[in-house]
Chains A and B, each alone.
Chain A
């Protein structure tokens, strides 16, 4: 009797969860259909296109700078990832393992200032980029993205570094090891999981950032990263072609989708840790 009731509950649960899944998937299914459809929904008035075609995908390459945008974004994200990884690791090592004057105050100051959205000070950001000669240079964006990423990850990463017992480095010190040795030989191997999270999050942040990029990449279509380029497809002077936009959107999100689902463990680990520990 009880098992039957349980079974019925399970079925109800599954129906409910499937319904939510459908509502979530629907917009994405629509994007795929629109990108392959010969006649867009608006014209035919039907969700299923009457004929499938690849022409929108081809035109994304022939009529827009999609390839440039794509490589710009990949280059930007990889560069951001490397820089952010380097500075986050040594910074958090110092904040967590080295006792120096003013450490706690500085840690609080970083946490306080990093919530300030850079979007608010685009005038100042533009000035910085132009006075350092970084306008229209992807390397400049790498720097601003990397510091954004690492300022945002300092708290999470420090939480992880702090879980490593301090007896480990004290023992090493008594054996005469310097800070650098402790950093490279003892701490680094133990914090690999959090470094993976820092790397992934930095990559994604750089891939998704569009506000600063849209203001400082002044070199026209060729120098845009994807986030800015896709926007230009919608705000172009010839009106929006949704089929082409959807085709570009699908290709543009592929790297992130592949990255996410192959590294899901790290993304989700980082999230639930940040949620509970913060």
Chain B
């Protein structure tokens, strides 16, 4: 009898406890997701603020037909960008974590305090700073290079160079995170593994590539996928380059535009709210798929560990 009462009590109380969160969550997440799906089926834009209406899948047709050239390129770039940032931060972060492991305990703490700076200082401040540093005509980096007689490099103004610059700058932001996560994982790798490798004649580099990296990657897999999602949706690019250098045709994605910055520009510069909504529905599918994978991977690793 008492047990049954608990059960009923739990079900009611559980939901009561969830109310505040669910309320806010459905307002700020649920509604936008549904409202976006609706908007993507209308012709709502800066030109048609009031008398907009249902147009079916027309926006999706526009994206996949007319905009296809720009769209596929941008989608591809979003994947390449997110992949490169995650992989280079992972390698750099793990590498530094290994080095810190070998340095003395106190020294390692001091170094980590420094390495972590890019992650600590608010990103909106440092991204804008990088934008100034990388300016072609009067940026800090070109000014210093100029002292050595090197001609100005178009860091953010040449399409290809701008792509490389965004990857470098964003890696600078995200590798400290990987140092810390990798340090946690390194502590759990038994030292006997390395000793055995050393006896077998493995060099330091070999044991880094063959032992450390694979183990860290495995333990970090869910984190890696989540970081990929974060970079996939990296809005910081907007502050760094605004998606520029711009494309020749107005309204096409710029060289460093990611899906997310392009959607923002489509909505707030060209006022095509309908197209922007259709794009964000597409992004939602991508991101949803990634996070499903992350959850699956996380669960399978978790169940393996508990075995």
Contacts and interface: CB of A to CB of B under 8 A. Distances in A.
A53 interface: no
B14 A103 contact: yes
A128 interface: yes
B64 interface: no
A17 B99 contact: yes
Nearest to B44: A123
B99 A278 contact: no
A24 B118 contact: yes
A253 B125 contact: yes
Nearest to B234: A117
A116 B226 CA distance: 12
A17 B143 CA distance: 26
A253 B283 CA distance: 32
Contacts of A173: 6
Chain B at the A interface: SS class? helix
B292 A146 contact: no
Interface string B33-48: 1011001000000000
Given A24-B114, A111-B295, A147-B21, A121 B14 contact: no
B118 A128 contact: no
A90 interface: yes
B4 interface: no
A41 B132 CA distance: 12
Given A21-B111, A147-B28, A257-B121, A98 B222 contact: no
A78 interface: no
B184 A272 contact: yes
A253 B122 contact: yes
Interface string A195-221: 000000000100110110001000000
Sorting the interface of chain B by its residue count into under 10, 10 to 19, 20 to 34 or 35 or more gives 35 or more
In this complex, which of A93, A106, A123 has the most chain B Cβ atoms within 10 angstroms of its Cβ?
A123
A272 B181 contact: yes
B120 interface: yes
Contacts of B61: none
B33 A113 contact: yes
Contact of A207 (B122, B264, B287): B122
B267 A122 contact: yes
A31 B146 CA distance: 19
Contacts of B276: 123
Interface centre among B9, B12, B140, B277 (most CB of A within 10 A): B140
A124 B31 contact: yes
B279 to A, nearest CB: 8
A58 interface: no
B17 interface: yes
Contact of A115 (B131, B143, B229): B229
A273 B138 CA distance: 43
Given A101-B11, A124-B36, A256-B122, A116 B287 contact: yes
Interface in A245-278: 245-246, 249, 252-253, 256-257, 260-261, 264, 268, 271-276, 278
Contacts of B131: 234
B90 to A, nearest CB: 11
A21 B176 CA distance: 12
A230 interface: yes
Contact of A110 (B25, B96, B277): B25
Contact of B13 (A95, A179, A249): A179
Interface in A75-131: 86-88, 90-91, 93-95, 98-101, 103, 106, 108, 110-125, 127-128
Nearest to A246: B129
B28 A125 contact: yes
A231 interface: yes
Contacts of B283: 117, 120
B183 A272 contact: yes
Nearest to A256: B122
B24 interface: yes
A92 B289 CA distance: 25
A179 B10 contact: yes
Contact of B223 (A24, A111, A122, A278): A278
A108 B295 CA distance: 9
Interface in A22-68: 24-25, 27-28, 30-31, 41-42, 45, 47
Contacts of B280: 120-121
Nearest to B221: A278
Contacts of B121: 28, 253, 256-257
A101 B279 CA distance: 35
